[in-house]
Structure 1
Amino acid sequence: MTREIIEYDALIIGAGPAGLAAAIRLRQRAQSLGQEFTVCVLEKGAQVGAHILSGAVIDPVALDELLPDWRERGAPLKTRVVGDEVLWFTAQHAVAAPRFALPPQLANEGLYVGSLGELCRWLAEQAEALGVELYPGFAAVTPCFDERGALTGVATGDMGIDASGEPTGRFAAGIEIRARYTLVAEGAGGSLTRQLEAQYGLREGVGESHFGLGIKEVWRVAPERHRPGLVIHTLGWPLGGEASGGGFLYHYGEDLVAIGLVTHLDYRNPYLSPFDEFQRLKTHPKIAALLQGGERLGYGARTTNEGGLQSLPRLSFPGGVLLGCAAGLLNVLRIKGTHNAMKSGMLAAESVADALLAGRQHDELIDYPKALRASWIGRELGDTRNVKPLLSRFGTVFGSLFCGIEMWLLAAGLRLPWTLAHPLPARARMAEARGFKPRQGVRPDGQLIFDRPSSLMLANISHEHDQPCHLKRRNTPDQEAARVIRFAAPETRYCPAGVYELDGGEVRINSQNCLHCKACELADPEHSLLWHPPEGGSGPQYGAM
C-alpha cells in the first residue's frame, strides 16, 4: 500500500503536557534564533484533552519556565491550594496526620488545582499561535525506521476498516509522517513506547516498570460544603492491607470536587476490584457528607507510571527520545508528574533544537538524558527513589512510615546512600485465586455508588463498533483457559470500564467500552493482553478531567 508521506523537522506523539511543552519550546527557540523549525503534534484523541486525566494538583514550576506570563495569558489554573490534609481512614473514622509529622515534600500550599485536560487545551492554543501544527484524531500505530535502524517517524492507522479487517466505504489509508527527530510523549503504557523499548532494548538491565490505576470522578457539591483550594489525601480504608495506594479529594473551581482512588497494581488478591473499592471509598462518612445531594459530572481512569528512578528506561535512541509518563517521570511520593513531564519536554526540545541547528538528523540525542538527570527532575526522582520499593515491601502503614523517616532525614541534609531495588515486576505479585475468596461488592444506589455502565456514559466514549478489536491476546486458547482458572479472570475486575466479561468460562472483550487506561496490559499476571490504538479519534471524550 502506498502511503502519503509528510515531513517535518520534529514530530511529537501525544498532545499532553510533555508533548505540548516540547512543541512550544521548540518554536520559541526557533523564533529566538530566526530559524523555522517545522513541528507537528499527533494526538490520538478526537481533540486535545479528550484522553487527558489527572488528579490534578499541579506544581507550576515548569509552566513558570515555559510561559512566565501564563497567568496574564488566562491559563485555566485559578484555584490555589490553601489547605492541605492527610487522613488515615478506617471504615467509620478519619484521623488527621499532624502537620508537623508530614515531610516537607508533601506540602501542596501554593500549588494549583484544576483540570489537566483544560490546561492542555490552553497549551495547544499557545502552541498553534507559535506555528505548531496539531493533528488530533490521528493515532501513531507503527514506528518507521531507516536502513540503519534509526527512527524516522511513524505511520498512522488506517481509517474505515471493519471488524473482519476489510476496508469499508469510508476507508482512508494512514499516512507516514517523517521527521528528523521524533519525541514520544504518549503517556504511561503506550503501544509505540512498547515497540521502541523492544526495538532498541531500552529496558535492558532495568526490567518492567511499576504502575498504578487512578480512577476519578468530578462532582459539583453544595456551595456551603465547598472549600476552594482544600486538598485532602487519604490512606488506609478501603484498600487497607489488600493494596497500597490511597484516595484524594480536591476542591476547586465553582463548587467542583475531584475525588479518586489510586491503586498500585502490585496487589496479590486477584479478586480485588479497584473500581469497587473506589465506589466503597465514597461511602465513608466524611466523603458521603460532602457528596450528599451533589451531582456527578465526570468519570474516567488512567494508569500511572510509578517505577521512579530505578525503572527509567534509556531515554534516547537513534532518531528519538521518550518524554513525560512515557519515560516514567511521575513523583510517586508527591503524586505529581505534570511539572516533570513539561520540563522533560522542554529539555528534549533544547536538545532537538541544537541538533537541527547543527544540521544533524536521526542520531541519538545523548545530551537529553544527561540534561534531564542534572535538572530538578533528576534531583526530585533521586530524592524519592526508595518510596515505591518501601511501599511494595512493607505495605501502606510501615512503608509510609519508613518513607516519612527517609524524607525527614533528607530535609535535615542526610541523604541515605542506598537505592532499593523493586522486589518483583508488579504483575508477578498477583497470586492464584485458590488462595483467596471473592470480595463482597458494592450495590449501586444511584446517589453515591454507581455501576460501570452508568459511569461510562459520563466518559462520553466513542468507538466505531464495526472496527477490529484493539485488545489482543498473546496466549494460545489453551493457555488462556488455564489463566482464567488460575487467576479467576482478574481483568473482569481490574478493568474500570467493563471491557472484559466472563461468559461460560471464557472472557468476552467489549472493546467499545475501553477508556484507554491500559490497565489490562499492565496488570495482567501473565502479560496475556496487549493494548493497541483503535481507529484515531476513538475512546473517551473527557471534558474537564
Structure 2
Amino acid sequence: MERESMEFDVVIVGAGPAGLATACRLMQISKDADKEITVCVVEKGSEVGAHILSGAVFEPDVLDELFNDWRDSDIPLKTKVTHDEIYLFNSDTKSRLMPNSLVPKTMHNEGNYIISVGNLARWLANRAEALGVEIFPGFAASELLFNDDNSVKGILIGDMGVGENGQHKDSYMPGMELHAKYTVFSEGCRGHLGKQLIQKYHLDNGKTPQHYGLGFKEIWKIPAEQHQQGKVVHTGGWPLVDGSSGGGFLYHMEDNQVAVGLIIDLNYKNPHLSPFDEFQRYKTHPVIAQTLTGGERLSYGARALAKGGLNSLPKMSFPGGLIIGCNAGTLNFAKIKGTHTAIKSGIIAAKTLGEGLIAGLEGGKDLDCFQQRFEESWLHEELYSSRNFGPAMHKFGTLLGGAYNYIDQNWFGGKFPVTFRDNTPDYATMGLASDYNKIDYPKPDGKLSFDKLSSVYLSNTYHEEDQLCHLHLKDQSIPISVNLVKFDEPAQRYCPAGVYEVVEDAGDKKFVINGQNCIHCKTCDIKDPSQNITWVTPEGGGGPNYPNM
C-alpha cells in the first residue's frame, strides 16, 4: 500500500520525560544557531501523560540543564520531601524502623520532590510546543521503516479501524509514514520498537540480560489527621519472601493524598505468586494501613520498570537513531528513580543530534559520539556507582544485599572494586508448579484490598473491542500444552489486569486473552517462561488514561 508520508529532521517516539527533554533541547539548539530543525513527537496515549506511571520522588537539578526559569514557572513540583523513613517488614504485623545511619545514601531524598511524572510530562509538552515542536498524541508508532542501507528511515503510524478479523471497518484510516534523518525511541520500559532495534542491531552484545520489576501504584485520599505532606516511606521485606524480592513505598503528596505502591522483582521463582495480590496484602501491614484506613482509593495502575542498570544498558546508538531513557534502561534502581536520568539521556541525545544536524550531518549514520558524551556525563557516573545494587540483592538476598549496598554506597561511594552480574533472564527463573506450594491469598475486603477488575476500572482503560489483538502468541498451543502443564499457566497471575484466563470449553482447557483489559505494563512480554507472548501497540489512544500518576 502506498501511504502518505511526512518528513522531519527528527522524529521522537514517546512523549515521556526523555523524549520531551530531547525535543525541548533540540529546539533550543536550533534557535541558538538560528538554523531550523524540524521535530515531531508521537505519543500512543490519548494525551501526553496518559500512559505514564511512576512513584515518584524526583531529583529536580537536571531541569537546570533545560530551563533556567523552571523554578519561577507553573511546573507541577508542589511537595518537597520533608523526611524519609525506611522500614524492614519482618512479618505481616511486625516491622523495624531503620536508623538513618544504616541507610544507603542513595535512599536519602533531601531536596527532592514528590511528583506526578505524568503531570511533569504535560508541562514539558507545553514547553516543547511553545518552542515549535509538533506533538501528535493518540498515534501509535507500530512499525520501523528502513532505508536501503539498513539504517532506520522512520516509523509507521498504525492503521486505525481494523477489526479483530483483520478486515477494514467503516472507520478505517490508513497509517502514515513519518520519515526522519534521525529517529529517537523513548517509548519507556520494554518499548516494542526498542526491543526490535536491540535485537536487530545486537545492541546488547556483551551485556547482562535486562532485569525488570513490576511496579504497582495507587493514589488515595486520606483523612487529614493521617496525612504528613512531604513524608517519604520506603519498605523492604514482607510480603516479598521465599524467593521473591522488591520493596514498597508510601509518599505523602499535596491535598491529603498519598501514593502507595509495591515493586516486585520479576525474577521471582514461584509460578503461583500473584504480584497483584501481593500488593493487596502489602496495604494491610500496620505501617501502611494506619495511613490508608478511612481513606478513599482514587486511582490504580501498574507498569514494568527496567532495573538492570549499567550492566544491562545496551549500546544506545544505531544507524539512523538513538534509544534513550527507560527504553534503554537508564533508571537508577539504587535510588528507585528514573525521571532525572531519562531527562539527562534526552539532553545528551539532543546535543548529539543538534550539533550534527547544524553541521550538515547526513541522515542514517550511527551517532557513535553519543556513547562518548554519555560516558563523560554525570549520568554514566551515577549509573556506574549503582551498578551492583540489583545484582547484590539478587545474589545475597534483602538483608545481606542491603548490607553490602550500604557499605558500597556509604563507604566506597559506589566504587567498590568488584562488579556483580546477574546473567539469568527473569523469565528463566520461573520454577515448576509442582515444586512450589500454592499461595492462599485472602479475599479482598473492599477497604484496603480490592479485586483486579475494580482496579482496572480505576485506571480508565479503554480499547475498541473490535480491533486486532495486540498480544501476539508465537505458538497458540503453548499456553495449554506447555505453560499450563509445567507452570500452571502463570499469565493468569502475573498479569495485573486480568487479561489472561484459562477456561473450560466443552471439557477442554482454553487460553483466553481479554486484550481490552490491558494496561500496557509489558509484564507478559517479560515474564512468560516460554517467551511466547509479544506485546505490540494497539490502536493509538487505547490503554489506560492516568490523570495524576
What residue is the counterpart of 2:348 in the other structure? 347
What residue is the counterpart of 1:126 in the other structure? 127
Structure 2: distance between partners of 1:61 and 1:337: 13
1:257 and 1:352, CA in 2 relative to 1: closer, same or farther beyond 3 A? same
Extract unaligned runs of 5+ from structure 2.
none
One-letter amino acid matched to 1:539:
G
Structure 1: distance between partners of 2:136 and 2:377: 31
Structure 1: distance between partners of 2:242 and 2:231: 27
What residue is the counterpart of 1:398 in the other structure? 400
Paired residues of 2:118 and 2:547 also in contact (CA < 8 A): yes
Equivalent pairs counted in the alignment come to 543
What residue is the counterpart of 1:277 in the other structure? 278
What residue is the counterpart of 1:208 in the other structure? 209
Which among 507, 512, 517 is matched to residue 508 of structure 1? 512
SS in 2 for 1:335: coil
How far did residue 72 of structure 1 move? 1.0
Which among 522, 527, 539 is matched to residue 535 of structure 1? 539
Q: Tell me the TM-score normalized by structure 1.
A: 0.98
Paired residues of 2:461 and 2:543 also in contact (CA < 8 A): yes
Paired residues of 1:13 and 1:41 also in contact (CA < 8 A): yes
Structure 2: distance between partners of 1:477 and 1:382: 43
Structure 1: distance between partners of 2:396 and 2:5: 53
One-letter amino acid matched to 2:405:
C
How far did residue 480 of structure 1 move? 4.7
Structure 1 segment 412-451 matched on structure 2, within 5 A: 415-451=415-451
Structure 1: distance between partners of 2:39 and 2:512: 41
SS in 1 for 2:412: helix
- Say yes or no: does 1:99 pair with 2:100: yes
Structure 2: distance between partners of 1:280 and 1:176: 47
One-letter amino acid matched to 2:376:
A
Which among 395, 411, 421 is matched to residue 409 of structure 1? 411
Structure 1: distance between partners of 2:69 and 2:202: 41
Extract unaligned runs of 5+ from structure 1.
none
Structure 1: distance between partners of 2:289 and 2:328: 37
Paired residues of 1:8 and 1:179 also in contact (CA < 8 A): yes
- Return 249-258 or 438-447, whichever deviates more: 438-447
How far did residue 415 of structure 1 move? 2.4
Structure 1 segment 484-523 matched on structure 2, within 5 A: 484-504=484-504, 505-523=509-527
Paired residues of 1:241 and 1:395 also in contact (CA < 8 A): no
One-letter amino acid matched to 2:522:
K
What residue is the counterpart of 1:362 in the other structure? 364
Structure 1 segment 56-67 matched on structure 2, within 5 A: 56-67=56-67
Paired residues of 1:442 and 1:449 also in contact (CA < 8 A): no
How far did residue 462 of structure 1 move? 0.9
Structure 2: distance between partners of 1:67 and 1:192: 30
Paired residues of 2:218 and 2:300 also in contact (CA < 8 A): yes
How far did residue 246 of structure 1 move? 0.6
One-letter amino acid matched to 1:193:
G
Cα deviation code 1:152-201 (max 9, x no counterpart): 10001000000000000000000000011101000111110111112211
Structure 2: distance between partners of 1:306 and 1:286: 26
Paired residues of 2:208 and 2:421 also in contact (CA < 8 A): no
Identity of aligned residues (%): 47
- Return 438-447 or 533-542, whichever deviates more: 438-447
Structure 2: distance between partners of 1:312 and 1:465: 37
Paired residues of 2:104 and 2:405 also in contact (CA < 8 A): no
What residue is the counterpart of 1:316 in the other structure? 317
Q: Tell me the TM-score normalized by structure 2.
A: 0.97
SS in 1 for 2:119: helix
Structure 2: distance between partners of 1:196 and 1:117: 26
Cα deviation code 1:391-416 (max 9, x no counterpart): 111221221111112112223xx822
One-letter amino acid matched to 2:182:
Y
What residue is the counterpart of 1:466 in the other structure? 466
Paired residues of 2:219 and 2:260 also in contact (CA < 8 A): yes
One-letter amino acid matched to 2:110:
E
What residue is the counterpart of 2:247 in the other structure? 246
Paired residues of 2:22 and 2:349 also in contact (CA < 8 A): yes
Cα deviation code 1:189-236 (max 9, x no counterpart): 111011111221112222531000001000011111110100000001
Structure 1 segment 138-287 matched on structure 2, within 5 A: 138-287=139-288
How far did residue 103 of structure 1 move? 2.3
- Return 44-53 or 88-97, whichever deviates more: 88-97
Paired residues of 1:279 and 1:442 also in contact (CA < 8 A): no
One-letter amino acid matched to 1:24:
C
Structure 2: distance between partners of 1:210 and 1:538: 27
SS in 1 for 2:195: helix
SS in 1 for 2:463: coil
Paired residues of 1:246 and 1:263 also in contact (CA < 8 A): yes
Computed over aligned residues only, the root mean square deviation of the Cα atoms, in angstroms, reads 1.1
SS in 2 for 1:71: helix
Paired residues of 1:241 and 1:396 also in contact (CA < 8 A): no
Structure 2: distance between partners of 1:43 and 1:387: 32
